[in-house]
Amino acid sequence: MNSHTSTTIEKVLYTAKTRTTGGREGKAQSNDGKLDILLSPPGTSGAGTNPEQLFAAGWSACYIGALGLAAKTLGTALPKDTLVDAEVDLGMTDGAFFLQARLQVQLPGIAPELAQQLVDLAHQTCPYSKAVHGNIAVTTHLI
C-alpha cells in the first residue's frame, strides 16, 4: 500500500470507516451503521447523493467547528446562527478531472475585520482546509 502524507499524526482521535460498493451508482455504509446512503452521479435523477455533496457537507461542518476554535482563540463567541454554504465543483481541464470549491461564510453580528480573522484562522485549523490547500482552487467569501 502506498501512502503520502506531509504530517504524521501523533495521536489518532477518530477513524471513520466506510465501505462503498458500486462507485458513483452504488451504496456507502459506515461500520457503525450511522451512515447508510445510496450514491448517484452528479446531475442525474438517481435517488442518492454524490461524493461532491458529501465532501461539501463534511467540509462545511468541520469548518464551522474550526470557526468556533478560532473564536475562542480570539476571545469572542461564535454566533449561534453561523452558517457555511459550501459549493464543490467537479470539472475537467485538459481531459483530467478536478475539484474546485467556494465557501460562503455568514457570521451575523461579527465586525467584518474580526470575521475575516476568524475565516483565515479557521482555514489554518480545519483539517479539510489543510488537506485541499494548494491542491484545489478555493475561494472564501463573507456574506
The three cell numbers locating residue 95:
481531459
Residues in a beta bridge with 104: 85, 141
Q: How far is CA 105 from CA 38, 52, 65, in A?
A: 29, 19, 13
Across the range 42-58, mean pLDDT stands at 94
Instruction: Give pLDDT tens digits for 66-107.
Output: 999 999 999 999 999 999 999 999 999 999 999 999 999 999
C-beta of residue 29 within 8 angstroms of C-beta of residue 18: yes
Q: How confident is the model at residue 57 (pLDDT cuts 50, 70, 90)?
A: very high
The per-residue pLDDT for 46 is 87
The x, y and z cell numbers of residue 89, run together, are 465543483
The residues, any chain, with a CB within 8 Å of residue 77's CB and separated by 6 or more, are 71
Which amino acid appears at position 130 of this protein?
K
Kindly tell me if the per-residue pLDDT of 16 is higher than 90.
yes
38/116 Cα distance (integer angstroms)? 37
| Separation between Cα atoms, residue 124 and residue 33, nearest integer Å | 32
Average pLDDT over residues 110-122: 98
Three-point CA angle 101, 60, 104, nearest 5°: 60
pTM: 0.91
118 close to 82: Cβ distance less than 8 angstroms: no
